[in-house]
Amino acid sequence: MHRRHNTTNIPIELLRSFIAIQEHGSFTRAASDLNLTQSAISTQMKRLRQIVGGEIFAKDGHGNPLTERGENVDKYARRILAMNDQIMSLAGARQGPNRLRVGIAGVLSSHFLSNVCKVRGDIDIQVCCGPSSDLAKNLASGHLDLAVILSTAPLKARSVFTRDEKLIWLCARTFALNPGAPVPLLSWPGSASDQAAVESLERFGQHYRIAFVASDLGTHIAAMRLGLGVFALPKSVVPPDCRVFKTPCLPQLPTLIAGLYLREGLDEKTALPVTTCFNKALATERILQSAPA
């Protein structure tokens, strides 16, 4: 007599493959990262779908978007994987080099990536650059070990260091805004600077239109240089060939907070080589707070 599959427990490898698909954007790249075949990944996702009782990936669209059920699986899968990896880390050196999952706000990525490259020692660093809202979510769920995050208000997370980031309006040197026309905004969805720009415009009562959407700094800078619109950017990363756009039709932008945060439960000694490099980068401007010695 054949025994039925035990669905009391979800195999951890199914969850790891599920998260890898989202991080890499495809079954093929996830399979390559996990040293599996694409058919093995497909079989795992079929099994996971059976266990949770429904579709986890939407059938339309690109990049394997999640269904509502898939979103719920994602929320818990990241927590389970984080706790699993913490337990496995108790084996210490037997597991090989220490691994740190580092997040960097996309708008600050260029400067901080250069600091990551300076880290020495037996550390395996995985870097994720993206919108601050995503990084904060992944840090809270345990999917990141530490992150440099730009926010409109202090985060409820373990901070090592924070500083002010002054936001300014930028445009191309030749850009001109037609009187009475809505402000053409270069938008970066999910970023703190974009959120601050939109909220400031709406409070000010200034009409605007989304003229361009991208999720990386280089593309925004290129669009701005072409005169496609205005962009809110931290003063510390402003390129020299851009113009600060000063006009009565634009509101003053708020000051944001750039912070280095650690996930709960992370051993600070493990993260010390990275936090030391990041502290130096953050300390280039006025310090707001720092952790006690």
Return the domain boundaries, the chain: 9-95, 97-293
* Predicted model pTM: 0.62
**Rg of the chain on CA atoms, in Å:** 22
Q: What is the pLDDT along the chain (293 residues), one digit of tens a residue?
A: 444 445 678 888 899 999 888 888 888 888 887 878 888 899 999 999 999 999 999 877 566 788 999 989 988 888 888 777 767 665 544 444 467 888 898 888 877 777 776 665 567 788 888 888 888 888 887 778 889 999 988 888 888 888 888 999 998 888 888 888 899 999 988 888 999 999 999 999 999 999 999 888 888 889 999 999 999 998 888 887 778 888 888 999 999 998 899 988 787 777 887 888 777 776 654 333 332 32
What class does CATH assign to 9-95? mainly alpha
CATH match of 97-293 with 3.50.50.60: no
**Which is nearest to 43 in space by CA: 33, 30, 61?**
30
Both tokens assigned to 55: 């579709």
Q: Tokens for 159?
A: 């901070």
